[in-house]
Structure 1
Amino acid sequence: MPAESDIQHVTGVSIRTRTMPQFSGSEKPRRWIKRYRTEVAASAASVLSTVTAFPLDSVKTRMQTYPYNGALHCVRMTHRLEGIHGFFRGVTAPLASVTLVRTISFSIYQRSKHDYSNWMKKHMGFCPLEHVNAAGTYPNLGTIACFGAAGATAGSCITFIACPFELTKLSAQVSVLMANQKNADPKKQAIAMSYHNKGTFKTLANIVKHRGYSGMYTGLNLHLLRDTLGTGIYFATYESSKHFLTTFLGKDAHKNPIAVLAAGGLCGIVSWALIYPIDSVKSIYQRNALMYSKGQKVPIPKIQFFRRDMYRGLGVSMGRSAAVNAVFFSAFEFLKKKINALQD
């Protein structure tokens, strides 16, 4: 409420007026940061984790779309043909997209988990968030379902933002390999060559040129399936493992960097291990589609679990994901704690 003060009227009668409180120049930004602490922490942590692990993502994509004799062979060939720059091809797109996507994803997830928790409390008499915050409890089917549903909701929503960026990133990562690939069809070869050594925005313009504006959403169905399932598993694993470690270690996991580090690494490993064939088919389909013109039908590879070639690059992907999420969640929880500690 505005503060009240007394002043003397010209007649000498005391009257009461209201004066607005004065804020220093640093208080408005501080209030904004505290209000949007989830988004601010997620954005900063995303930039750090993306740059740290992008070379592993590049190796993973190359191994999914082209045959290599293992990860080391892929690293050696990439370095020999393209140098260090080859491992960072397309990094601009994910720096923008991953930051945006994670920020929106975490915002949707935070709201969704409270909505689902309230719904379960109202209709089932069990509140997952109250259970998690109670001392001495462990994860159960109710908490896993709540966090998984909230994660799936976030994953399905961000797919429509992430798909064009990820397609652009994939194109940049394999553009040299596409150009060197010998195609029997000269038209496909010409289209493949047109992607060679282009930046993020030129690549996006090239996709629109050959496949129209709808081409930016090539592979959307596969992307939606991957992100809905993967993000649900991702958040359910993170929250559940953090909850378990909180009780097991007898400490607040938010204040225990080892618990956050372990939960962050584990959620990346588990989610990728379970949905990797879907991601492989998405990458192969998008790579193939880049060599087709608008209106041409692109065959969709069949998703086959437990087939060996569907898991090419899985080790690299799991290592990358563990590193990315360990760095991300450590930075995320650290920044949120620092923001919460700011004076109101």
Structure 2
Amino acid sequence: MSEKRPFNHLFDSAALHDALRRNKAVVCAISASYISTFAGYPLDSIKSRLQTIRTPINIPTLALQVYREEGIIGFYRGLWIPLITISFVRAASFTIYTRTKEWFHEHHLLTRNNIFQVSATGGIGGALSGSLISFGSAPFELVKVRRQLEYSIAASKGIKIVRPPSTLQAVSEIFRTNGISGLYTGFRLHFIRDTSGTALYFFEYDGLRHLMGRLPSGEQGPTPPWMPIHSSLVPFLCGSVAGVSSWALIYPLDVVKTKVQQRALAGEPPRTAWVTFRRLIRGPDPNNPKPILLGLARIYRGLGVSALRSVTTHGLLWTFFDLTASYIDALPLNQTE
């Protein structure tokens, strides 16, 4: 009778550990992104609605309205799109970002351990990442916006929704109406937003981590005396601050993009980005413009919930990214290494 082998003999743990180490950035990005995306998606859905409605409304009232009309599913409408695409977007984004920083290090460029050069390499990596990823992410984000704004788009067409279309039906409708180019409605604004936003994000994050005591090796050192917090909270703090501040800077561009896409999806006559921005700031009547402060309040509507979403998603993203990275770093090395 042959000797029974333990179950763990069926797979090569050493090969698995080696694969995890070789693809650490991808593994960390994907696992952390799923958690952070699911946690922050309801806030993202509310943000999109706040950006497009004409009548000011507070967040609790809007949330209650969504719940009454659409139920819990209304907060997660279109969720599977970012959950599926996040594996590609985050993996590619962090790979480009890390490879760019490695290229600078290998060529001895911007390698001094000061805040400017640390932030600059992160910003350049972020800009390359955001610009390249935008070509693949733009169609998926357009469909996500379409799903989130099903009811408002239908209302602008004078249609009452009995049963909202599925995601595949939404894609089919966009393709049938405008062809393959319809999936890239608002792409220029999407490209500018992602390139500048991702550059700012990684620029700030790397600079903040440097200030908070991250060592050149990438490990977290002692935190500075002026911010005596536990080292485990540093990724959450830096990720939240970088996410909120970079998003606040590009938020007007995101509002214009969403409005341009909403009009196109509703079949309304197109407006340029500048005309859309001016109308948001000064109102639709050029002979009776509204005060600048009211216009700014209009274009920044939803920033509060968006900031809360950024704190949640980016804080959790970097927290779980670092936890996963620490786990992989602690895996036993192969005997032959």
Using the size of structure 1 for normalisation, the TM-score is 0.80
Q: Which structure 2 residue ranges, 5 or more long, are not aligned? A: 1-8, 225-229, 282-294
Per-residue CA shift, 1:30-74, capped at 9, x if unaligned? 221211011011111111111111100000000011134122221
Give the SS at the match of 2:57: coil
Deviates more, 1:23-32 or 1:196-205: 23-32
Q: Is the 8 A contact 2:153 2:265 kept in 1?
A: no
Residue aligning to 1:207: 174
2:234 to 259, 275, 290: 259
Within a 5 Å distance, the mapping from 1:34-45 to structure 2 comes to 34-45=21-32
CA distance in 1, matches of 2:10, 2:43: 47
RMSD between aligned residues: 2.6
Residue aligning to 2:291: none
Identity percentage of aligned residues = 33
2:65 to 77, 85, 89: 77
Q: Are residue 89 (structure 1) and residue 77 (structure 2) matched?
A: yes
Within a 5 Å distance, the mapping from 1:104-253 to structure 2 comes to 104-119=92-107, 121-122=108-109, 126-128=110-112, 131=113, 139-140=115-116, 142-181=117-156, 183=157, 189=158, 197-246=164-213, 251=222
Q: Which structure 1 residue ranges, 5 or more long, are not aligned? A: 1-21, 132-137, 184-188
Residue aligning to 2:43: 56
Q: Is the 8 A contact 1:117 1:146 kept in 2?
A: no
Q: CA deviation at 1:173?
A: 0.5
Residue aligning to 1:19: none
Q: Report how many residues are paired.
A: 298
Q: Is the 8 A contact 1:159 1:223 kept in 2?
A: yes
Q: Which stretches of structure 1, 4 residues or longer, exceed 6 Å deviation after superposition? A: none
Residue aligning to 2:318: 329
Deviates more, 1:199-208 or 1:38-47: 199-208
- Give the number of the structure with larger relative contact order, counting CA–CA contacts within 8 Å between residues 6 or more apart: 2
- What is the identity, as a one-letter code, of the residue corresponding to 1:337? S
2:270 to 274, 277, 298: 298
Q: Are residue 31 (structure 1) and residue 2 (structure 2) matched?
A: no
1:312 to 301, 309, 319: 301
Q: Is the 8 A contact 1:246 1:259 kept in 2?
A: no
Per-residue CA shift, 1:239-267, capped at 9, x if unaligned? 111110116995279x9211111001111
- What is the identity, as a one-letter code, of the residue corresponding to 2:296? R
Q: CA deviation at 1:200?
A: 2.0
Per-residue CA shift, 1:173-225, capped at 9, x if unaligned? 010222233x4xxxxx57x979x612222211211011101111111100000
Give the SS at the match of 2:12: coil
Q: Is the 8 A contact 1:234 1:268 kept in 2?
A: yes
Residue aligning to 2:86: 98
Give the SS at the match of 2:115: coil
Structure 1 pair 247–112 and aligned structure 2 pair: CA distance change class (3 A): closer
Give the SS at the match of 1:318: helix
Using the size of structure 2 for normalisation, the TM-score is 0.82
Structure 1 pair 117–90 and aligned structure 2 pair: CA distance change class (3 A): same
